Structure 1
Amino acid sequence: MASTTVPLIDISPFLEGSPHGRRDVARAVADACEDIGFFAITGHGVPAETTNRLRRLSHAFFGLSEDEKARAIHPVAGTPRGHRIFAGEALGKTTGADAPADFKEFYHFGRDDWPDDDYHCGAEGSRYFIPNIWPENPAGFADAAMGYFRETEKLSFVMMRIAALALDLPQDFFQDKINEHVTAMRINHYPAETPDGVAGQIRAGEHTDYGLFTLLMGETAPGGLEVRTRAGDWINVETRPDIFVVNVGDLLMRWTNDIWVSNPHRVVNPPAGTKLSQGRVSIAFFQQPNYDAVIACIPGCTGPDNPPRYGPVRSGDYRAVKYEVAEIAG
């Protein structure tokens, strides 16, 4: 029977425990990925102060005037860097729907160091290895953002080792496919007051994520994340600053030949009449493989009765298509 809840998994036995403990964690992750594609983790090792500092400074940034935020504006379509204006994206369009713009603004950043070579700085690499754009205010924002990025980057490597074990693969199976990853991190900001909009307009329209795992830190406030179960029901996903909500993205689902599910999810508006003292912040690490990684069915995920469902696709090409569809001019 399909789950109607998102399981909470303590991954510390994988980090600190015996082979038996690591296997138990991997089995719990596999069950969640096959069933609902979402789970939450504790015991992850990311310091609370690293998270809380970025949360504080994110609220400060999004509280600035529009003119000041515009000094760090998102530069061109398909470039995940800098501030993106309110209602500048419609995630629901990535499912093929004629969806309205989302009630959110966001800030993108990513890796800040790479070798000066053709892979990273050539015609193709320069589309992915892009200098970050930082605001003048609040002071310390860039340092806090990159400190958080490095902690979640380490955690993402752990999660892919868990994934490999869960799929009965060598723990380093994914390493050479993610060692030059082109992950984008996004700080979402949802306003305290929901604007007037069109029917069905919400904080983030129904969509799936594009890459491997998404690692999400969210706040506890009305108007949050919902995931659609295999039965078609929408259920609430608890978010709070001391846990990460993890979900399977499209490329990881393709790699596993749909054994693991990249489930549709959305962010809903607070109930009508809700009075909030401030907007809501969530911070997402959208783990993406190397841009030239070829995503093809893992041998153990196919057989005579379960042929590959997808042809091979390059990671960077897949992401570029999704970015283009979701983008709104302006």
Structure 2
Amino acid sequence: MSAATIPIVDLAPALRGSRAERMRVAHEIDAACTDIGFLTIRGHGVPPALIDTLRGHASTFFNLPLEEKRQAEPEKVTVPRGYRALGFDSLSRGNAGNAPGDLKEYYHFGRENWPSTPYYTSEAGQRFFIPNRWPQRPVGFAEAAAAYYAAMERLTGQMMSLAALALGLDEDFFEDKIDRHITAMRLNFYPAQQEAPQSGQMRAGPHTDYGLLTILNGENRPGGLEVQTRGGDWLGVETDPDTFVVNIGDLLMRWTNDRWVSNVHRVVNPPAGSGPAAQRISLAFFHHPNYDALVECIAPPGEAKYPPVLSGEYRDQQYRRTRV
């Protein structure tokens, strides 16, 4: 496989059922995750209307006046819910960079409901299971987000079963580690740029993601997603409306002892003068294990490159590092 391409994997044969088909697709996933850590998936079974509905609500919200959008900001700056204005964080700082704030706005939310049991309601649980904050407009935003989130939950469950097969593990290896996951979503909005960026400032600076898998639905517009190949080159990542881009996060790389790569990626600025055509929205589902899941390398004794780490503690640490 060439590192100069993003592999396309059709999930439909695996989702139809036979173990032989699942193993064949799992091998394709393994090759992509070993080589570049990114792949495009089709045949995923997520209805296009579900994607279009959330994208439409996001577009309506982000094009509201700034004063109205800011009414959906959380009361505490540390709470990862609700609206964040341009430049709130710098993703490159999560990887020891020092760039100015990223040139994006975003809306941050998690699951809408959860059981009233100690895992969710305890002091530890309340750090991750946080009520969502929704604006008055557009009507139906919360419902569209919840429906999309549920579809991504199903898809990531299927992907993690295939990941287990790809790694030579029991197909259900990850099930008890993700059955109470702490996944958050971000709806990212990259507005047209009226002024020249500061030195080193991008729509999203070079960074890796923190969890297991990121599933992204983006747009092919000026100023898009790029991934760094193992050779150090930057490769543009294209998406169609009915496909998703999937990339490996830090915790899954640690779990595989670097067999799979959590690759550096960024969102570049559009060419100067691009105007409104460069406005861009991406829907990002950051799949993260249960907060108490212990991530230990799948490696023979003495060969682990990373010490064990708790999922929730790792995410909190990375969030703190990105704040401007």
- Please tell me the TM-score bracket, short chain as reference: over 0.9
Structure 1 equivalent of residue 249 of structure 2: 249
CA–CA distance in structure 2, aligned partners of residues 34 and 302 of structure 1: 19
Contact 1:214-1:248 within 8 A present in 2 as well:
yes
Task: Give the distance between the partners of 2:314 and 2:134, measured in 1 at CA.
Answer: 27
- Give, in angstroms, the shift of residue 294 of structure 1: 0.4
Q: Which residue is 1:192 aligned to?
A: 192
Query: 1:155-304 to 2 correspondence within 5 Å?
Result: 155-277=155-277, 279-298=279-298, 301-302=299-300
Matches of 1:294 and 1:152 in 2, distance apart? 23
SS of alignment partner, residue 197 of structure 1: coil
Q: Is residue 314 of structure 1 aligned with residue 307 of structure 2?
A: no
Asked if the contact 2:206/2:265 (under 8 Å) is kept, the reply is yes
User: For residues 184 and 78 of structure 1, what CA distance do their matches in structure 2 show?
Assistant: 14
| Deviation at residue 170 of structure 1 after TM alignment | 1.0
Q: Deviations over 1:297-319 (max 9, x none)?
A: 12xx3367xx0000000000000
Contact 2:222–2:278 under 8 Å retained in 1: no
Offset, 1:291:
0.3
Residues 185-211 of structure 1: CA deviation (Å, up to 9, x unaligned): 000000023533211211000000000
Is the CA contact (8 Å cut-off) linking 1:39 and 1:247 kept in structure 2?
A: yes
Amino acid at match of 1:124: A
Structure 2, unpaired ranges of 5+: none
5+ long unaligned stretches in structure 1: none
Q: Give the 3 Å change call, closer, same or farther, for CA 158–235 of structure 1 in structure 2.
A: same
Say if 2:93 and 2:322, in contact at 8 Å, map to a contact too.
Answer: yes
Matching of residues 40-55 of structure 1 within 5 Å: 40-55=40-55
Alpha-carbon deviation of 1:169? 0.9
- Match of residue 323, structure 1, among 294, 319, 322: 319
Q: Any idea what the Cα deviations from partners look like across 1:107-131, whole Å, max 9, x if unmatched?
A: 0111122121221111111000111
Mapped contact 1:207–1:265 kept (Cα < 8 A): yes
Q: Label 1:113 to 1:276 Cα distance change in 2 as closer, same or farther (>3 A).
A: same
Give, in angstroms, the shift of residue 78 of structure 1. 4.0
Q: Which aligned pairs between 1:56-67 and structure 2 lie closer than 5 A?
A: 56-67=56-67
Q: What amino acid does structure 2 have at the position aligned with 1:206?
A: P
Q: Which residue of 2 aligns with 1:100?
A: 100
TM-score (norm 1): 0.95
- 2:34 is matched with 34
Compared CA separation, residues 194 and 313, structure 1 to 2 (3 A): farther
Whether the 8 Å CA contact 2:90–2:205 is kept in 1: the answer is: yes
Q: Contact conserved, 2:223 with 2:278, CA < 8 A, in 1?
A: no
Amino acid corresponding to residue 108 of structure 1 in structure 2: H
Residue 300 of structure 2 aligns with an amino acid whose one-letter code is: T
Q: Secondary structure at the match of 2:266?
A: strand
Query: How large is the RMSD of aligned CA atoms in angstroms?
Result: 1.3
Q: What per-residue deviation string (whole Å, max 9, x for no partner) do you get for residues 196-230 of structure 1?
A: 32112110000000000000000121110000000
